Structure 1
């Protein structure tokens, strides 16, 4: 365990739980407004600075686990003047005492920020042992995954054809591996793309070598020696060396629940990123803002800017314009900006070949979202300006 001693304050320290992009971005922003207040960063991992979004295309960029590290935890803690407690597990939050119960002992706080992120949803088929199935959600996961790929692997069964799953499929094929991609939806990225673009993506992945099995799920998984045999619900079988689950993200809300906070899909926060306890805040993939859970980089950055001002005594409120998301699939470049959940309307699609433009229009014909493929992705800025704000 590494610790760096910070200053003390009558206001009590700000304790940030989580050293991902949300935690470090918040502290960096906070130091611009308040360079003196003590900050304690508590993290279950080593706290190294790296880009989590690059985990799903690290192989294509020839990134080893070591080369992904941009700065050591100790160097970053010194740069930001924070006390770092790494390799530390937080068991529970006591909001009355304003204290964390951790593997390093009790840690008091004046204000607490939950930046615990989200975990990969792991699908465990019948007869399978959960330990057989890999997921890659942080640098430690990537270290284990990279080591397995170095051991002579040739075929990966990938469960989940959402955004992360498709990016991983593309990345694995860049390494020269065979990939079988399985998802119960009728086309990849079904929550973000209309059918025409989703099927175009499936075709592009298949042209690059992926065996795309949409509309299917893994009914059974058994181990044979060093490999696995998966039986799909249609009776077909897939033999693979490794199984990777990328079936979506689940916000980490256990600590919030231990504190009795209001939790829905994520930890409920208001426009100032405050939870139902005024001294506890949440940010990033674990937080559910009035616009919902937004597990993307640009909303996280907006949240960090606002929360830094709030913690420094300001009166900022979260507002977010429409924020397009670039999908890192080189098989088919994509940019998506989905309409708000439950929006009434229709998709209008035009373009040719794989260069498609889909705009979701409401009942009043106003654009509410879009999905762009191929060369049409160049229109993302112009279309983004036409959309209503994500949160006003």
Structure 2
């Protein structure tokens, strides 16, 4: 019997391996990854400063530890060049040598890549992205080398705001730049977003919205001049891009796996090719991309059962997202994009609660800003229908 092969050593890949081992301690498992397979919780990267966590303290286990813990072979620094779905075989490359690797079932847990904006200037190559622990180490090294600690963040989305909060509260001076008119534009209604922005601004975070970065130039003393489309400019010690992620689907598509935004799967996380599955940030499940921790855990549990012979569809209960911005405590349960909703808002001294209801009066999403509103998280979550119901 050939091994079950997992491509990718991120949170999704390790979650599948962990859940499968709970059900089946013996079937051969093989993880293949292009990096060193260090296991860590990616969400900790955007609040590691406040948590006083140095990069070397974020890792939960190296490849050797994880291989022993999960009774799994891990091939690090190995690239998958092609998938032969008919032969159930991979072409892999390591140390410049190509070889074939058969599989019984294949799990694509290949994650997503940072979107990079087209920015001119001789400093554009120095713009940091933080999509993994290696990226984060490089970012922290650049910060440590600078005295003024002025950080420009491109992107006022979830990750950009989390990093801004973390940096501003640890002696840095943060400016967030985004084309959108307010932060978290994909998650929040405008009135809540502006209150959220005000809370962050009161900590010293500067917002420059409604414009984009055109150029990043090196200037004296290792500084960077960030030139904006609206004619303004900002001096930075370090520039961080957090404008979003794009599912890593190129290798899968080249091998005949269907992909649109991400790798397309049904509710069983099956792709169009037999015995090939997708999970995590790369997976577009029934047309939905959910790059958050709770959906990944739901996917991993369902897929582990399927891999063990019990065909199981993923079940998405209502899964609120907690945004790690202590200066403006925020919990969001986005309403489905295809559902037309009406917002009702209740204000408190320390924030607000906004509820999104559909035409039939059913609660489809909510936003909780501040400590008082946060107390209603559990009650409201129970009222929201499942996104993808469990299989009947």
What TM-score comes out, normalization by structure 2 length? 0.94
Structure 1 residue 72 corresponds to structure 2 residue 72 = no
Alpha-carbon spacing, 1:45–1:342, altered in 2? closer, same or farther (3 Å):
same
Structure 1 residue 194 corresponds to structure 2 residue 189 = yes
Give me the whole-angstrom Cα distance separating, in 2, the residues matched to 1:83 and 1:352: 53
2:264 corresponds to: 268
Structure 1 residue 252 corresponds to structure 2 residue 248 = yes
2:224 corresponds to: 228
Q: Indicate the SS of the match to 1:103.
A: strand
Give me the whole-angstrom Cα distance separating, in 2, the residues matched to 1:188 and 1:111: 41
Residue segments in structure 1 that go unaligned for 5+ positions in a row: 1-9
Give me the whole-angstrom Cα distance separating, in 2, the residues matched to 1:211 and 1:47: 37
Give me the whole-angstrom Cα distance separating, in 1, the residues matched to 2:140 and 2:120: 27
**Across the two proteins, how many residue pairs are aligned to each other?**
382
User: How far apart are 1:333 and its partner, in Å?
Assistant: 0.3
Q: Deviations over 1:89-121 (max 9, x none)?
A: 222222223222222232221111000111221
Q: Indicate the SS of the match to 1:189.
A: coil
Give me the whole-angstrom Cα distance separating, in 2, the residues matched to 1:131 and 1:97: 41
Give me the whole-angstrom Cα distance separating, in 1, the residues matched to 2:44 and 2:139: 14
Give me the whole-angstrom Cα distance separating, in 2, the residues matched to 1:359 and 1:242: 38
Q: Deviations over 1:197-251 (max 9, x none)?
A: 1111111111111111121211222221412111212211111111100001111
1:3 corresponds to: none
Give me the whole-angstrom Cα distance separating, in 2, the residues matched to 1:289 and 1:162: 22
Structure 1 residue 93 corresponds to structure 2 residue 83 = yes
2:35 corresponds to: 45
2:351 corresponds to: 355
User: How far apart are 1:190 and its partner, in Å?
Assistant: 0.7
Q: Indicate the SS of the match to 1:146.
A: helix
Give me the whole-angstrom Cα distance separating, in 2, the residues matched to 1:25 and 1:285: 13
Residue segments in structure 2 that go unaligned for 5+ positions in a row: none
2:44 corresponds to: 54
Aligned with residue 309 of structure 1, among 296, 305, 309: 305
Question: Which deviates more, 132-141 or 348-357?
Answer: 348-357
Give me the whole-angstrom Cα distance separating, in 1, the residues matched to 2:163 and 2:365: 25
Alpha-carbon spacing, 1:35–1:325, altered in 2? closer, same or farther (3 Å):
same
Q: Indicate the SS of the match to 1:157.
A: strand
CA contact (8 A) 1:323 1:390 kept: no
CA contact (8 A) 2:157 2:184 kept: yes
Aligned with residue 210 of structure 2, among 211, 215, 218: 215
CA contact (8 A) 2:85 2:274 kept: no
User: How far apart are 1:142 and its partner, in Å?
Assistant: 1.0
User: How far apart are 1:130 and its partner, in Å?
Assistant: 4.5
Give me the whole-angstrom Cα distance separating, in 2, the residues matched to 1:174 and 1:199: 20
Q: Deviations over 1:22-57 (max 9, x none)?
A: 111111111122211111111111111111111111
Q: Indicate the SS of the match to 1:386.
A: coil
Task: Calculate the aligned-residue CA RMSD, in Å.
Answer: 1.3
1:7 corresponds to: none
Question: Which deviates more, 268-277 or 211-220?
Answer: 211-220
Q: Deviations over 1:322-378 (max 9, x none)?
A: 100000001100000000012112111111344100111111222111011002012
Give me the whole-angstrom Cα distance separating, in 1, the residues matched to 2:112 and 2:64: 24
CA contact (8 A) 2:264 2:287 kept: no
Give me the whole-angstrom Cα distance separating, in 1, the residues matched to 2:329 and 2:352: 11
Q: Indicate the SS of the match to 1:304.
A: helix
Give me the whole-angstrom Cα distance separating, in 1, the residues matched to 2:127 and 2:80: 26
Q: Deviations over 1:116-167 (max 9, x none)?
A: 1112212232335642210001011111111111102410110000000100
1:4 corresponds to: none
CA contact (8 A) 1:262 1:275 kept: yes
CA contact (8 A) 2:143 2:237 kept: no
2:155 corresponds to: 160
Q: Indicate the SS of the match to 1:257.
A: helix
Q: Deviations over 1:236-288 (max 9, x none)?
A: 11111111000011111112112111101110111111100121100011001
Alpha-carbon spacing, 1:220–1:281, altered in 2? closer, same or farther (3 Å):
same
Aligned with residue 375 of structure 2, among 348, 373, 378: 378
Aligned with residue 32 of structure 1, among 11, 17, 22: 22
Q: Deviations over 1:180-201 (max 9, x none)?
A: 1001111110110111111111
Give me the whole-angstrom Cα distance separating, in 1, the residues matched to 2:85 and 2:254: 9
What TM-score comes out, normalization by structure 1 length? 0.94
